[in-house]
Structure 1
Amino acid sequence: MSIEALRVRIVTLDSEIELQKKLLKKLEKDRSLTQRQLNAALDPVARLPLEVSSEIFLQSLPASPGGKKDVPIVLLGICNAWTDIALATPRLWTTVRVRFPCGDDFAEVLPVWFQRAGNHPLSVSISLHGRCVNWKYRVSDILWSHGRQLKHLEILDDDDFAWQSHMQDDALDLFRDATLASPSLLETLTIRCQYQQRRYFPSQILELLRSAPNIVEIIFHNVMTCLSNDTDTRILVVPTLRRLMFGETTNTDDYLLRNLSLPALEILSLPMNSLSGEGLLRFMERSTPPLRDLTLGWEVDPGHLGSVELHDCLRLSPGLTRFRMWQPDSDAVAELLTALADTPSLLPNLLDLSIHIFDDPDWEPSNFSEASWRTLVRALSTRRMERLYIVPVKTSPPIDVLVSLRDLVVAGANMHIGTEELNFVVA
């Protein structure tokens, strides 16, 4: 065969190869489509109506924004049918988890995620990890620009590094130069530091509250505030807030309650780390909230929350049904019991009383006097108590007191007086 014929033969074979490649590509595409149809025919989820399959996917979401898995991303990787369902279910994309530190490329992903969520309200969880958290403002700026869709905002800080003293003065600037789109849908705000306290600008917290007309719950744990020159000292009235809870080591209670009026507050938990009894009373007088559940902590200094201020606060809360005292001394407990026994109009609706007495190995305040035990019985006789919990008590009450308490148990009350392990009432 001549050279020219060989060249022609090669061209012919190349053309045949290209044709066969195109045919193979088409066959592979047809096979993939057929496999997809077979998977859809065999997949019970794909055979369901979209409303039903979407609801099944929604049930796979974690109960809170801080769940460990990005469920929508996992669903996208199963098969084409599940991908179509996931992309057709906007509510599946309303839970947004941001983990700092992260790369700037995450700022490119967020808009796609928000687009898939449509106009649905968002639950955003921001997790802070690592010894020196690198807060990415490119990412947070996108979050704040979608503030109008925020319904739940959670900031979780699990940095376990023992910070140097000079770092304690550094506050986390949430917004920097970003403009916060009014979070008109925001209902819950949680800032929780698991190990080390982190400082926040109080003006930014108030800014969030001022622009959130539907906020109903705030939780702060291990959070500190740093004073700033731009702090607005005017009283901010938040008419929708019903639940306000401060963790035991949080010291933001003083600043916030001095600047807030909460006329709809129903549940309040205060460690009283920095707020004085007088400050609490002023807050109560200013807000006159319809409290149903109140938890108060006591400093080691017994004068931090005096009985006079406490009883005045309780008189302003006639609808209170649950009252918890954390680490009060025995004098504070005795004075409360006397007030309850001598003044039936004080806390007339109280159903649940829990007292976690301050316990020190060198001091035993939990040993009530006989008079205090009988005062307790008198106080209970004027109320339809459903639950009484007092710990730690290391010495059993007098027998006649126990008889009276056991009669209340027979009548349906839940009583626990003693240590965590031992209940004298039922022992």
Structure 2
Amino acid sequence: MTAVKLLEDIRRLTDTIEAREQLSLDLQERNRDDLSDLEAQRSNARTQLNSLLDPMARLPLEIQSQIFCDVESQPTPDPQQPPLIFLNICRLWRAIALNTPELWTHLEIRLHPLPRDADYLDFCKNWIGRAGSRPLSLILRGVVRLDADTQHLVTCHQHHLEHLTLELSGYFAEEGLVTRTILLQGQFPVLKTLDIRSHGRLLMKTLNDWIDLLRAAPQLETCSLENMIIDWHIFGSFAEPPPTQPLILPCLQNLCLGNTQHALQDLDTTHGASALILRYLTLPALQTLHLTVFDLIDVEFTAFLDRSLPPLRSLSMIVSSPWFMDTMGEMLRPVPTLKHLELIKTSIIPPAIILRVLEALKGVLPVLHTLTIYMRSGRLLDFERLGRFLHSRRVEQEIPLAVFRLYFVSENAQPEYGTDALDENILVALRQLVEDGLDVHVGPRGRNLLL
């Protein structure tokens, strides 16, 4: 049937329906079945016409559903953005969207203050319900204290929760509040990503809740904890005995204790999460480790690496105490797989300490590819010793160092605005390393002083 014929049928059916609707109520009641049949015929004709005129409608439903999935959707309930906008286009698109579970597997829930609409949680339940049993990703954003309805919403779906992010507000959390209220309600058998961010410090007096949290997620692959600190000045000691045996997490590949960017904004202030948790973990699959608060001692960190024997490839850590200069080499000897090392020097550590740390690395880290150092500025740094170290890594190692980054972080915490200038002799020496094949950047992030 052609589009012209369908249009004629739609006009004819519309005229007939309008005429029937003008009849008296008694006649209309007696002809209600006929009227419904006419409306169904018109709806069917419109569907056929849409199929002829709209290429999308002619595609198999599976293809249309995949197209919807390929459109970047928003996890927030915005009616002007996918997937909600699909519900308001036409009946066909609405049906496809409601029957495509993959569209509803990501959701951001605002904890407090909740939207004034009393149906907000019902809306969230309906959204998640459309995902069926598909792997679920949730972002919970708001204050630390969670209401019972929100707790129940999450725990009802914890069996297929794959990614969980908490973005918490507030500057002090009651001990164990976060883990008790939502994260310790049972097992999270398929949880792969856990990201907990806090604008304020979550002070802890025990690590047991956090160990229990990790124990509840045996398939965890990536974990990021921010601003969770053991504050000995307040608590003095653990309130309860710590675990007697380290917890083994066989799948955890990426562990970030803190936010590196936040640490770079103020090199004199500790940011991050307590590294003490490493005392009680064994991570045989660990490949990436970021530490922005290093409150372990060297033997504890070495013991963690010795029992884990991880295939560690990337390590980022704060240099905040002088003992790094003598112990760094021995600490990292258990991880000969390390390819990327990033050191962040606080301003209380003299520049000479960094050089002694680097010299302690001679003979270890045989496959080190990239070395990155963040420091306040290049002033007082002995560039001649630095040049000798870089040269030795180029000629003495079986696999030469390929990339060296020395970033200066200015006083206003914006690395791109540093103004350090290098002596001409230093420039000549470092440029020689560049000619020998080393990729070198010295200066603020946005400006290489060697160029």
> Which of 438, 442, 449 matches 1:417?
442
SS of the aligned residue for 1:338 comes to helix
What is the rounded CA distance, in whole Å, between the counterparts of 2:107 and 2:118 in structure 1?
A: 16
> Which of 52, 62, 68 matches 1:51?
62
What is the rounded CA distance, in whole Å, between the counterparts of 1:224 and 1:46 in structure 2?
A: 56
What is the rounded CA distance, in whole Å, between the counterparts of 2:306 and 2:184 in structure 1?
A: 35
> Which of 296, 314, 319 matches 1:275?
296
Tell me: CA distance 1:13–1:180, structure 2 relative to 1, closer, same or farther (3 Å). Answer: same
Query: What is the percentage of aligned positions where both structures have the same residue?
Result: 28
What is the deviation of 1:117?
Answer: 1.8
> Which of 272, 284, 293 matches 1:263?
284
Residue aligning to 1:324? 342
Query: Any unmatched runs of 5+ in structure 1?
Result: 1-11
Which amino acid is 1:306 matched to? F
Contact 1:370 1:397 in 2 (8 A): no
The answer on 1:196 being equivalent to 2:200 is yes
Tell me: CA distance 1:42–1:290, structure 2 relative to 1, closer, same or farther (3 Å). Answer: same
Residue aligning to 1:386? 402
> Which of 129, 132, 138 matches 1:124?
138
Tell me: CA distance 1:43–1:223, structure 2 relative to 1, closer, same or farther (3 Å). Answer: farther
Matches within 5 A, 1:84-103: 84-101=95-112, 102=114
User: Residues 244-286 of structure 1: CA distance to partner in whole angstroms, max 9, x if unpaired?
Assistant: 1122354533332122111211110101253344442332233
TM-score (norm 1): 0.79
Tell me: CA distance 1:231–1:150, structure 2 relative to 1, closer, same or farther (3 Å). Answer: farther
Which amino acid is 2:201 matched to? Q
What is the deviation of 1:183?
Answer: 1.6
Which amino acid is 1:221 matched to? E
Which amino acid is 1:297 matched to? I
Matches within 5 A, 1:19-418: 19=30, 27=38, 30-62=41-73, 71-101=82-112, 102=114, 105-128=119-142, 135-157=146-168, 159=169, 167=172, 169=174, 172-176=177-181, 180-193=185-198, 195-198=199-202, 202-224=207-229, 229=239, 232-234=242-244, 235-246=246-257, 247=259, 248=263, 249-299=270-320, 302-303=321-322, 305-327=323-345, 329=349, 330-340=351-361, 343=362, 345-359=363-377, 366-368=380-382, 370-383=384-397, 384-392=400-408, 394-396=420-422, 399=425, 402-403=427-428, 405-418=430-443
What is the rounded CA distance, in whole Å, between the counterparts of 2:446 and 2:127 in structure 1?
A: 50
What is the rounded CA distance, in whole Å, between the counterparts of 1:35 and 1:245 in structure 2?
A: 56
Tell me: CA distance 1:57–1:13, structure 2 relative to 1, closer, same or farther (3 Å). Answer: closer
What is the deviation of 1:37?
Answer: 4.1
User: Residues 269-314 of structure 1: CA distance to partner in whole angstroms, max 9, x if unpaired?
Assistant: 1012533444423322332222110101123xx33x5222322122
Aligned residues: 393
Which amino acid is 1:139 matched to? T
User: Residues 145-179 of structure 1: CA distance to partner in whole angstroms, max 9, x if unpaired?
Assistant: 3212111111123x4x7x5xxx5656643443886
Contact 2:226 2:273 in 1 (8 A): no
SS of the aligned residue for 1:297 comes to strand
What is the deviation of 1:380?
Answer: 3.2
SS of the aligned residue for 1:396 comes to coil
Tell me: CA distance 1:94–1:236, structure 2 relative to 1, closer, same or farther (3 Å). Answer: same
TM-score (norm 2): 0.75
Which amino acid is 1:406 matched to? R
SS of the aligned residue for 1:71 comes to coil
Contact 1:263 1:287 in 2 (8 A): yes
RMSD value, Cα? 3.4
Query: Any unmatched runs of 5+ in structure 2?
Result: 1-22, 264-269, 409-418
